[in-house]
């Protein structure tokens, strides 16, 4: 039973290595279409970063390869070394490399453009609708928990997530607290479950 969503808006950034001769999202698409199957992206199989690049691939009709990694700690060195060319990961992880000029961002999976990257468009802006724009964490209670208990838990989680200490800790991870009611969280879960199912169907991703 949903209690509360505790953190949202962990923005996923799509980027290419600076050695890739593409400056914008349209140039990335054009490069991929000019060399089918030659570009590759790396991520953990079935993760949101994997899904967003496969969503981008399916929506734009490009042919790029996926290389599975256990995590970004393994994928990023290969990206910088030229073994793969494209990556998607949270902004806190990729922004240090962007600032160093080693990665070039070309689109963000978020509701709006990010202040740190005002020139980088969102998926929706380039006409690719349907990808869930937020990554969130939440608290659930066992089915059948009395409503009054859920209400108390919701209030406690909301209060704890807004303390200065928690706000600072979440900010380090690229999250921010967004309090709401248990019913708000239930509606978010239902909507995102439908969206993720549509993304999986579109991309044809299988975990076997």
Measured CA to CA, the distance from residue 29 to residue 57 in angstroms comes to 9
Average pLDDT over residues 13-31: 97
Rounded to two decimals, what is the model's pTM?
A: 0.86
The number of beta carbons lying within 10 Å of the beta carbon of residue 96 is: 10
Provide mean pLDDT across the span 76-83.
96
Predicted confidence (pLDDT) at residue 31 exceeds the cutoff of 80: yes
Task: Write down the pLDDT at residue 2.
Answer: 81
For residue 179, is pLDDT > 90?
Answer: no
Band of residue 5 on the pLDDT scale cut at 50, 70, 90: confident
The answer to whether 88 and 3 are in contact (CB under 8 A) is: no
Tokens (6 digits) for 130 = 């349907």
pLDDT digits (tens, 9 = 90+) for 183-203: 999 998 899 899 999 999 999
**Residue 51 structural domain:** 12-129+198-203
Q: Mean pLDDT for the chain? A: 92
Are 188 and 114 in a shared domain? no
Same domain? 188 vs 86: no
**Other residues' Cβ atoms within 10 Å of the Cβ of residue 128:** 19
Question: pLDDT digit string (tens) for 98-118?
Answer: 999 999 999 999 989 999 999
Please state, in angstroms and rounded to a whole number, the distance separating the CA atoms of residues 18 and 85: 9
Q: How confident is the model at residue 142 (pLDDT cuts 50, 70, 90)?
A: very high
Per-residue model confidence (pLDDT) at position 7: 62
Overall average pLDDT of the 72-80 stretch? 95
pLDDT value for 133: 81
Task: Look at residue 174 in the predicted model and tell me its pLDDT.
Answer: 74
Residue 115 sits in the same domain as residue 159: no
C-alpha distances out from residue 171 to 10, 31, 33, 144, 166, Å: 10, 35, 38, 34, 8
Confidence at residue 70, expressed as pLDDT on a 0 to 100 scale: 93
Residue 57 covered by a domain:
yes
Say if residues 29 and 23 touch (Cβ distance below 8 Å).
no
pLDDT above 80 for 89: yes
Regarding whether 94 and 142 lie in a shared domain, the answer is no
CA distance 208 to 84: 22
Both 97 and 144 in one domain: the answer is no
Q: How large is the average pLDDT for residues 47-76? A: 95
Query: Tokens 């914008």 map to which residue?
Result: 24
Q: How many structural domains are present in the chain?
A: 2
Within this chain, do residues 108 and 33 fall inside the same structural domain, yes or no?
Answer: yes
Q: Is the pLDDT of residue 152 over 70?
A: yes
Radius of gyration (C-alpha) of the chain in whole angstroms: 18
């Amino acid at each position: 039973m949903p209690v509360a969503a505790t953190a949202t808006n962990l923005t996923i950034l799509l980027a290419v290595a600076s050695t890739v001769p593409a400056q914008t999202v349209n140039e990335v698409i054009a490069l991929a279409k000019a060399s089918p199957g030659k570009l590759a992206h790396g991520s953990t199989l079935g993760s949101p970063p994997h899904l967003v690049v496969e969503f981008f691939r399916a929506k734009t009709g490009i042919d790029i390869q996926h290389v599975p990694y256990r995590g970004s700690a393994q994928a990023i060195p290969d990206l910088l070394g030229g073994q793969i060319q494209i990556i998607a990961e949270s902004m806190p992880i990729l922004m240090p490399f962007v600032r160093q000029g080693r990665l070039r961002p070309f689109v963000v999976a978020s509701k709006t453009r990010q202040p740190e990257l005002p020139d980088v468009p969102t998926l929706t802006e380039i006409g690719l609708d349907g990808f869930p724009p937020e990554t969130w964490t939440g608290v659930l209670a066992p089915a059948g928990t009395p409503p009054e208990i859920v209400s108390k838990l919701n209030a406690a989680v909301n209060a704890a997530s807004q303390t200065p200490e928690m706000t600072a800790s979440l900010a380090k991870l690229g999250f921010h607290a967004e309090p709401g009611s248990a019913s708000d969280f239930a509606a978010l879960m239902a909507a995102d479950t439908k969206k993720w199912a549509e993304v999986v169907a579109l991309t044809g991703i299988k975990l076997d």
